[in-house]
Amino acid sequence: MKISKKKLFEKLRSLRLIGFDFDGIFTDAKVILSENGLESVVCSRRDGLGINELQRLGIKLVVISKEPNKIVATRCAKLKIECAHGVDHKLSLFKKILDREKIKPKYAAFMGDDFNDLECMRYAGVALTVADAYHLNKKVSHYITQKNGGHHAIREVADMVVEAREGKRNQKAAFNAATPLIL
Amino acid sequence: MLSQDGTESIICNRRDSWGLNEMKRLGIKMVVINKGLDPAVSKRCQKLKLEYKYDATKDKLSILKDVLVREQVKPESVLYVGDDTIDLPCLKYAGLAVTVADGASECKKAADYITEKNGGQGAVRELCELIVVAKGGLSRT
């Protein structure tokens, strides 16, 4: 369901909310597990910068994850993103959030890499996924990032949204330095 | 992975979980077999609700046979996945032998199927998807 860059940018210009899956989008889907039972994941600080840019544009961001481990909430708290984890049925929660924010589905995007994200991706006006996603997620996506999950794929999306809204970034106005960066 | 305080860690792939859940839904019994106890593996199995069998005094095949007797499953109805020479007896005993793209050459020789993915890089997921498709549950396209 890939669409032209022009059509995609039109959609991105009116975007008000992005929902994200966590594992496989913020990470490469891997988990490091120690013998003490402590779980770790690797995130991208470049994604962190992209998240900051999306927030600067006033786009509401929310993470909806099936994973029960609080590591998801820890990362989201740092990035100041609303987070729901341990979610078994993502679409019903996504709908509730859109209702609460009074945002129509066509002004929302969802970015997910696996089976349990498909419903949300079909429901949102913009479906986004990563290069190494499950094949069905690629099929329903309007845009597939060139990057794999955890390898700055969110940054790629953020850069695209910024470009759609503000044109290609020139070096002078690279970042709004007035806002403190949380990566 | 080893940290400077001696803590050992393993790296797993969360994308495998969906495949494992599908196996449970299809009623396929799964068991992870180790020669000795590996605490990190034990933690991962707990989380994924997989049975974990280990016994330092036995070889893997004896452990597998014990499980088959308990579950009343014949060897021909068993699939075994292993990547190293220690797994060879089990691979030869099971009805279906699978190894990963980066498995030992002896395992590859004994295998009925070799996953396209390396171990830890979504090989379990790949195998589970194949089983779901074979059982008529999912279209590949």
Distance of CA A154 to CAs A12, A62, A67, A131, B96, Å? 14, 13, 19, 12, 40
The answer to whether residue B54 sits within a structural domain is yes
Q: Which residues of B touch A129 (CB under 8 A)?
A: none
Share of chain B above pLDDT 90, in %: 88
- pLDDT of A36 over the 70 cut: yes
- Complex ipTM > 0.85: no
Under an 8 A CB cutoff, do A34 and B40 touch? yes
Q: How confident is the model at residue A139 (pLDDT cuts 50, 70, 90)?
A: very high
Dist. CA B102–CA B60, nearest whole Å: 20
Q: Which residues of B touch A26 (CB under 8 A)?
A: none
Q: B3-41, pLDDT tens digit by residue?
A: 888 899 999 999 999 999 999 999 999 999 999 999 999
Residue B123 contacts by C-beta under 8 Å, 6 or more apart in sequence? B81, B100, B101, B115, B117
The answer to whether residue B4 sits within a structural domain is no
Which domain does B117 fall in, by range? 15-134
The answer to whether residue B6 sits within a structural domain is no
SS3 at position A102: coil
Classify domain A5-164 at the CATH topology level: Rossmann fold (3.40.50)
- pLDDT of A169 over the 90 cut: no
Distance of CA A18 to CAs B2, B35, B64, Å? 37, 47, 47
The answer to whether residue B64 sits within a structural domain is yes
Instruction: Name which of B2, B7, B9, B44 to mutate to probe chain A: the one with the most chain A Cβ atoms within 10 A of its Cβ.
Output: B9
The answer to whether residue B2 sits within a structural domain is no
Helix axes A153-166, A45-56, angle to 10 degrees: 30
pLDDT value of residue B141: 46
Q: A55-100, pLDDT tens digit by residue?
A: 999 999 999 999 999 999 999 999 999 999 999 999 999 999 999 9
pLDDT value of residue B1: 86
The answer to whether residue B8 sits within a structural domain is no
- pLDDT of A132 over the 80 cut: yes
The answer to whether residue B141 sits within a structural domain is no
> ∠ CA(A49), CA(A50), CA(A55), 5° rounding?
100
Taking the domains of chain A in order of start, what are their residue ranges? Answer: 5-164
Closest CA in chain A for residue B9: A34
| Burial label, A140 (beta-carbon count in 10 A; 0-12, 13-18, 19+) | middle
Residue B82 is part of a domain; what is its CATH number? 3.40.50.1000
* pTM score: 0.88
Residue A178 contacts by C-beta under 8 Å, 6 or more apart in sequence? none
Q: How confident is the model at residue A180 (pLDDT cuts 50, 70, 90)?
A: low
Domain count of the fold of chain B: 1
Q: Which of residues 35-64 of B touch A (CB under 8 A)?
A: 38-40, 43-44
Taking CB atoms and an 8 Å cut-off, how many pairs form between chains A and B?
53
Please compute, for residue B60, the number of CA atoms within 13 A of its CA located in the half-sphere on the CB side.
Answer: 22
Report yes or no: A70 at the B interface, CB cutoff 8 Å.
Answer: no
Q: Please name the residue that has the structure tokens 């910068």.
A: A49
Q: B119-134, pLDDT tens digit by residue?
A: 999 999 999 999 999 9
- The residues pairing with A128 across neighbouring beta strands, listed in sequence order, are A111, A143
The answer to whether residue B84 sits within a structural domain is yes
